[in-house]
Amino acid sequence: MSAADPVSESVPDALSEALNASSGNGSEALNATVRFTATPEGTALAYGSLLFMALMPIFFGALRSVRCSRSKNGGEMPETITSRDAARFPIIASCTLFGLYLFFKVFSQEYINLLLSLYFFVLGVLALSHTISPLVASVLPASFPNNPYQLLFTQGTGEDKEEILNYEFDTKSLVCLVLSSVVGVWYLFKKHWIANNLFGLAFALNGVELLHLNNVSTGCILLGGLFVYDVFWVFGTNVMVTVAKSFEAPIKLVFPQDLLEKGLGASNFAMLGLGDIVIPGIFIALLLRFDVSLKKNTRTYFYTSFVAYIFGLVLTIFIMHTFKHAQPALLYLVPACVGFPVVVALLKGELTEMFRYEEETSEEAGPDSEAEKKDQ
């Protein structure tokens, strides 16, 4: 990511809002019940593609989170989730989910989805621009004129002057924004599943990169709370399935089961919600940063949790396909992603060290933080 990226400051907050609405929507995913009878080949292709798409933002987002945590640039600073945030998140997500359910019951679904489409068009363009910026920067030739710009809005005069908005960006960032806007227009007018997935992958990758857990205990609180949240709203009510089927926004990855029969115009989709990617993903990214902090040139806990995620997601697909019923994916992902690394830490005698690992919160991080620690 370019240090002059104009969208990096707005992405974490936007992602937090989006995740509140989507953190469990993938539970039915892998889960939408459709009347179309898919062929074994079509089913295998759809679920295999969803699995591959889910792994990409986790793997690359975790790698980018390491660089993000080391950055001293204010625009690249991650949003840190504390134990208090983690404890409140399932409650906020539940209120948001039930609020959307009531909105869809009371108001016209068409108008609600129009407003949501416009909202996620803006978020999607910003997230995709941030995601592709390293790729665009590497592709453009060295001779490309990369001029710096600054967008500054202030309030007041003299000593009372206060910054409202301060974006520093360059020509390469504008190229990213234009390319992302093309995808945004495609999504806005066509709602094509490929455009949906491009936005969904961008949201997921940015979430894993920019939303950081401050320690393993916080991760356990967050995953444990959302474990209960997911099970309750899928098995206890029809709220989550109803919202997921009504909600036309790129908060889930989709892949057609009839792609082999109908090509790119296929319309019978298998789905996986972004919450089932980002929530375990930020925990896996934390374990990668813990691996880095050990300075042993190994990535034991990262690869263990990554394999655990694959196991949990495959198990979700298998059970959903066997019983033909919506499954809360976090029911299987949380025990796998938490349990596997904990067992490895016990075997290696590093469990205490794992739970003592602590990262700075967004407020604590800053250019002077290291000097303050030394003084203490």
Q: Which residues are catalytic?
A: 230, 276
Joined together, the tokens standing for residue 160 give 């009372």
- Residue 366 near residue 85, CB atoms below 8 Å: no
237-242 contacts, C-beta under 8 A, 24 or more apart: 239/97, 239/98, 239/101, 240/24, 240/25, 240/27, 240/28, 240/97, 241/28, 241/31, 241/32, 241/326, 242/101, 242/104
Which CA distances in Å does 318 have to 38, 179, 311, 312? Answer: 15, 38, 10, 10
Region of 324 on the Ramachandran plot (φ > 0 left; ψ -120 to 50 alpha; else beta): left
Give the amino acid at 51.
Answer: L
For the chain, give the number of residues: 376
- Report d(CA 277, CA 309) in Å as an integer: 9
